[in-house]
Chain A
């Protein structure tokens, strides 16, 4: 029997970036909030032993426990979806801070073009530029409307960076200066400038200098220790909900944060939610938490799964194209790169998650697509993450993969390889979507989420085009051996790619084609807000967190308004 708890104004499901930002804003406004987090509590002192590649990077210390819950995957509807049994293409976070604790901290804004992509494409290239099957749509908000929220988010997190003239206009400079331009980044800068590009330091959530944010939170600068992605930051230099928004919320005394609280159902009558049902994964006790407002901020996959499993909102049907929950699932296209092996030895054991440079010329619609067989673009970039030794044993093609030759070659190049990589935008397609699996269930008896996804002609064409641009940069940088990868294989869930999953509960102007409005309020249940990258109608080439953060600030404002006045916010 579930234990029914006293009703609260707001219950938030998931305490990562989206949930943390909303909790912080609402509690500052004096609103009582219950935050439910399926994982454990986290604080920076937990990271005393964090410089452990095996435990964190290869045994996935900070990631979701797949034995309890995973998703099933197939490329097309013709295949039988099977569970991703082990990690894995994408690494879902868990615990307080969510993926905001183990991310790299690459923190961009999307382009003005992104928010009005369908109209702008038609306007410039005509209707036929959008191929049949591509589910392109505008976001229901413009860049200018979202700009103040980007600004608020960046000031909270202390984003380090430098302005890019061809990107969206900023109301204020970055709160902190760019990261250090290391010798290898200087090589990239010199090479790309010579080729006519205007490289810039990637905006970073690893603080470049000591910083105190508008909430009065003071954090120290990044030490370039090389343990960012998949790790927590023991210094608190990497912006993470546990060192930014959550302490602010806790200080108000208005946040009741409950860990080990795994929500398995949204309770509702079809028009309005009345609360959530959750299970403690450790003790298996069950609770019902009634609330006036339910906020889902439990990652793309779980947001979609909870809505579908609770039968809230209209499920997407790929045959008719009707319905919205699960629609427009997108990813990011990262199959192309040039790997260069050098004679020189660099200090590559040092680095940071967002220490990198990128060229802006091939992003969005910043280059002419009239004669191209794809839309949107990619960031061409180089990072210095810090080469941890188990995962970084690159050898030139043709080298043995084990034995003396492998050992000697991998050691020879341990500090002597660099990679010019591409991160491309991902367009939505009618055939790429999320729904519930008919066979497999999680440990609570709820069906697993099923992903149907494959790369399309658009993605292959973009890949071929971008790969061509990486090799000249590597040549200019003076690599001894250059290997360029220019083709995309079908998406495979075994090797890690990235965790930039988007869509499934998308925002828009029209309830027929979107699930939430521009405050992330559900069209079908006005007291339910669904925050996170699940709201993106497509994915840009930029890492998603900055946009997710901005939308969360806007959503918090909407929830406050809704608590006062009720009704639909648009």
Chain B
């Protein structure tokens, strides 16, 4: 039994490891390797080696299942990969960013006109779908696995980088494969735009970890002004600052 009053902390790592290795009781239900396999080992190892590093409590999920999160992490990393310039989507926390966005008003299309009737639009009339972004995203993620299974007999996260690129390419072009209620292109555009957002929005949203996205492109974030730098003929590099720094 899980004791909900028990303080949570480093002890959890051994518990995770235990579940992973033996596939035993979680909340009184015996589970097998399916749950165990979702618990990331890498993070556990990192946590152990940096025991003093403060935990970012924001790095948890409010919308995705663990599987959806991992598929998102893998797909966004192909869109914005780690390279010699710096971290990719995974290192920037883009999948956390997307999770948090889809859980909120953006994912629920709160400020969009969602009244019927829905008709097929001409190319100039914008999106007419009454599906919410969160639903399009979930269906798209399932589609990535369905297509990967069909073509490579494996789920998306298990494919090689080249195979993942191939699947994403098919989704981008949107000819070969159909999702229910949405095109793969609709999903892919959402995935692509949210990846860029997660890489470059203020770290308060869960992505752009340590402002590393901004640092790669020498963007100084939120500064009070540039009356001097703007007149300089040479490029002036300014250490970035996030909105957190305005909180005092």
Residues of A within 8 A of B (CB): 48-49, 51-54, 58-60, 65-67, 69-70, 73-75, 79-80, 82-86, 88, 180, 182-183, 223-226, 345-347, 349-351, 384, 387-390, 393, 401-404, 407-408, 410-411, 414-415, 439-441, 490-494
Could you say which of B78, B122, B232, B243 contacts A49, with CB atoms under 8 Å apart?
B243
| Complex Cα spacing A401 to B185, Å | 13
Could you say which of B88, B115, B124, B219 contacts A389, with CB atoms under 8 Å apart?
B219
| Complex Cα spacing A402 to B85, Å | 16
Known: A86-B112, A401-B192, A492-B126. A51 touches B233 (CB 8 A): no
- Whether the Cβ atoms of A403 and B230 lie closer than 8 Å is no
Instruction: Give the Cβ gap from A123 to chain B, nearest Cβ, in Å.
Output: 37
- Whether the Cβ atoms of B83 and A54 lie closer than 8 Å is no
Say which one of B8-16, B17-25, B62-70, B209-217 lies at the interface with A: B209-217
Could you say which of A60, A80, A492 contacts B123, with CB atoms under 8 Å apart?
A492
Instruction: Give the Cβ gap from A373 to chain B, nearest Cβ, in Å.
Output: 24
B7 at the interface (CB under 8 A from A): no
- Whether the Cβ atoms of A82 and B125 lie closer than 8 Å is yes
A386 to B, closest residue via Cβ? B226
- Whether the Cβ atoms of B80 and A84 lie closer than 8 Å is no
A454 to B, closest residue via Cβ? B124
Residues of B within 8 A of A (CB): 78-81, 83, 85, 88, 105-106, 109-115, 117, 119, 121-128, 165, 168, 172, 192, 195-197, 200-202, 204-205, 213-214, 216-227, 229-233, 235-236, 238, 243, 246
| Complex Cα spacing A73 to B197, Å | 28
Known: A180-B231, A407-B85, A411-B217. A53 touches B79 (CB 8 A): no
Known: A51-B243, A67-B111, A223-B226. A86 touches B126 (CB 8 A): yes
- Whether the Cβ atoms of B85 and A411 lie closer than 8 Å is yes
- Whether the Cβ atoms of A408 and B83 lie closer than 8 Å is yes
| Complex Cα spacing A85 to B131, Å | 12
- Whether the Cβ atoms of A67 and B113 lie closer than 8 Å is yes
Interfacial chain B residues near A223, Cβ < 8 Å: 224-227
- Whether the Cβ atoms of A182 and B85 lie closer than 8 Å is no
Interfacial chain A residues near B109, Cβ < 8 Å: 67, 86
- Whether the Cβ atoms of A75 and B85 lie closer than 8 Å is no
Known: A393-B196, A404-B83, A407-B85. A84 touches B121 (CB 8 A): no
A-B contact list, 30 entries, CB within 8 Å: A49-B246, A51-B221, A51-B243, A53-B202, A58-B197, A59-B105, A59-B106, A60-B111, A66-B111, A67-B112, A67-B113, A73-B124, A84-B125, A85-B126, A85-B128, A86-B109, A88-B126, A182-B231, A183-B233, A347-B229, A347-B235, A347-B236, A349-B218, A389-B219, A402-B172, A404-B83, A411-B216, A440-B115, A492-B124, A494-B124
A443 to B, closest residue via Cβ? B115
- Whether the Cβ atoms of A67 and B110 lie closer than 8 Å is yes
- Whether the Cβ atoms of B232 and A389 lie closer than 8 Å is no
| Complex Cα spacing A75 to B128, Å | 16
- Whether the Cβ atoms of B113 and A347 lie closer than 8 Å is no
Instruction: Give the Cβ gap from A19 to chain B, nearest Cβ, in Å.
Output: 23
Instruction: Give the Cβ gap from B167 to chain A, nearest Cβ, in Å.
Output: 13
Interfacial chain B residues near A69, Cβ < 8 Å: 113
Interfacial chain A residues near B115, Cβ < 8 Å: 83, 440-441
Interfacial chain B residues near A224, Cβ < 8 Å: 225-227, 230
| Complex Cα spacing A86 to B195, Å | 20
- Whether the Cβ atoms of A439 and B226 lie closer than 8 Å is no
Instruction: Give the Cβ gap from B79 to chain A, nearest Cβ, in Å.
Output: 4
Instruction: Give the Cβ gap from A260 to chain B, nearest Cβ, in Å.
Output: 16
- Whether the Cβ atoms of B246 and A225 lie closer than 8 Å is no
Choose among B119, B200, B217, B246 the residue with the greatest number of A CB atoms under 10 Å from its CB.
B217
| Complex Cα spacing A492 to B232, Å | 39
Known: A85-B112, A403-B78, A408-B85. A493 touches B125 (CB 8 A): yes
Instruction: Give the Cβ gap from B8 to chain A, nearest Cβ, in Å.
Output: 31
Interfacial chain B residues near A345, Cβ < 8 Å: 218, 235
Interfacial chain B residues near A49, Cβ < 8 Å: 243, 246
A440 to B, closest residue via Cβ? B115
- Whether the Cβ atoms of B205 and A54 lie closer than 8 Å is yes
- Whether the Cβ atoms of A82 and B128 lie closer than 8 Å is yes
| Complex Cα spacing A82 to B236, Å | 48
B218 to A, closest residue via Cβ? A415
- Whether the Cβ atoms of B126 and A54 lie closer than 8 Å is no
Interfacial chain B residues near A54, Cβ < 8 Å: 197, 201-202, 205
Interfacial chain B residues near A347, Cβ < 8 Å: 226, 229-230, 232, 235-236
Known: A390-B196, A492-B123. A407 touches B219 (CB 8 A): no
- Whether the Cβ atoms of B113 and A79 lie closer than 8 Å is no
- Whether the Cβ atoms of A350 and B226 lie closer than 8 Å is yes
Interfacial chain A residues near B165, Cβ < 8 Å: 403
| Complex Cα spacing A74 to B233, Å | 47
| Complex Cα spacing A418 to B155, Å | 43
Known: A51-B221, A83-B113, A390-B197. A74 touches B125 (CB 8 A): yes
- Whether the Cβ atoms of A51 and B222 lie closer than 8 Å is yes
Choose among B117, B200, B204 the residue with the greatest number of A CB atoms under 10 Å from its CB.
B200
| Complex Cα spacing A286 to B196, Å | 43
Interfacial chain A residues near B219, Cβ < 8 Å: 349, 387-389, 414
Known: A60-B111, A182-B230, A390-B196. A439 touches B80 (CB 8 A): no
- Whether the Cβ atoms of A80 and B119 lie closer than 8 Å is yes
- Whether the Cβ atoms of B224 and A225 lie closer than 8 Å is yes
- Whether the Cβ atoms of B127 and A85 lie closer than 8 Å is yes
| Complex Cα spacing A82 to B119, Å | 8
Interfacial chain A residues near B80, Cβ < 8 Å: 402, 407
Instruction: Give the Cβ gap from B108 to chain A, nearest Cβ, in Å.
Output: 10
| Complex Cα spacing A84 to B201, Å | 26
Interfacial chain A residues near B233, Cβ < 8 Å: 183
Interfacial chain A residues near B246, Cβ < 8 Å: 48-49
| Complex Cα spacing A74 to B126, Å | 11
Interfacial chain B residues near A351, Cβ < 8 Å: 226, 230
- Whether the Cβ atoms of B81 and A390 lie closer than 8 Å is no
Add 14 more A-B contacts to A51-B223, A223-B224, A351-B230 (CB < 8 A): A52-B202, A52-B222, A54-B205, A66-B113, A82-B121, A82-B126, A83-B113, A347-B232, A390-B201, A402-B78, A402-B80, A402-B172, A407-B81, A415-B217
| Complex Cα spacing A34 to B220, Å | 44
| Complex Cα spacing A130 to B99, Å | 56
Interfacial chain B residues near A411, Cβ < 8 Å: 85, 216-217
A393 to B, closest residue via Cβ? B196
